[in-house]
């Protein structure tokens, strides 16, 4: 599938990490999504019902992230992928989750994962 919907630089705060201070203080996370979606029908019809509503997916991701308390960014990324793939029109998703300033001398540290319908 060549069509993609992009959600770039979703900046949220959550409890994430294994250290004591990370378990008690919210940290910034930066999230990017690439949703593989067939947009041809929407391109022809100009009808919202013919595409994935990225606003709805973003709201679900925000709710998940802000309410989560995972230890690993890998787990957070996997759960975000599951939210995105809950819309049956999303065939595959790439999720990147970064923790800015998590590592001294680095702008950020994070993971990037790809999940398909077969993974959930």
Q: How many CB atoms lie within 10 A of CB 33?
A: 23
Q: Does 1 score more than 70 pLDDT?
A: no
Structural domains present in the chain: 4-119 (3.30.1130.10)
The mean pLDDT of the chain is 96
| Residue among 59, 75, 99, 107 flagged as catalytic | 99
Q: Does 118 score more than 90 pLDDT?
A: yes
**pLDDT tens track for 77-105:** 999 999 999 999 999 999 999 999 788 89
Contact 95, 35 (CB under 8 A): no
pLDDT at 101 (0 to 100): 79
Quote the pTM value: 0.95
pLDDT band at 34 (very low <50, low <70, confident <90, very high): very high
The answer to whether residue 59 is catalytic is no
């Amino acid at each position: 599938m060549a069509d993609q919907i992009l959600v770039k630089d979703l900046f949220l705060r959550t409890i994430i990490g294994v250290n004591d201070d990370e378990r008690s203080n919210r940290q910034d996370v930066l999230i990017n999504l690439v949703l593989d979606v067939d947009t041809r029908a929407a391109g022809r019809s100009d009808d919202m019902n013919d595409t994935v509503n990225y606003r709805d997916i973003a709201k679900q991701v925000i709710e998940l992230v802000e309410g989560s308390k995972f230890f690993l960014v890998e787990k957070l990324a996997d759960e975000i992928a599951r939210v995105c793939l809950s819309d049956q029109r999303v065939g595959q998703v790439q999720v990147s989750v970064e923790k800015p300033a998590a590592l001294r001398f680095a702008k950020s540290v994070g993971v990037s994962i790809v999940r398909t319908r077969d993974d959930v």
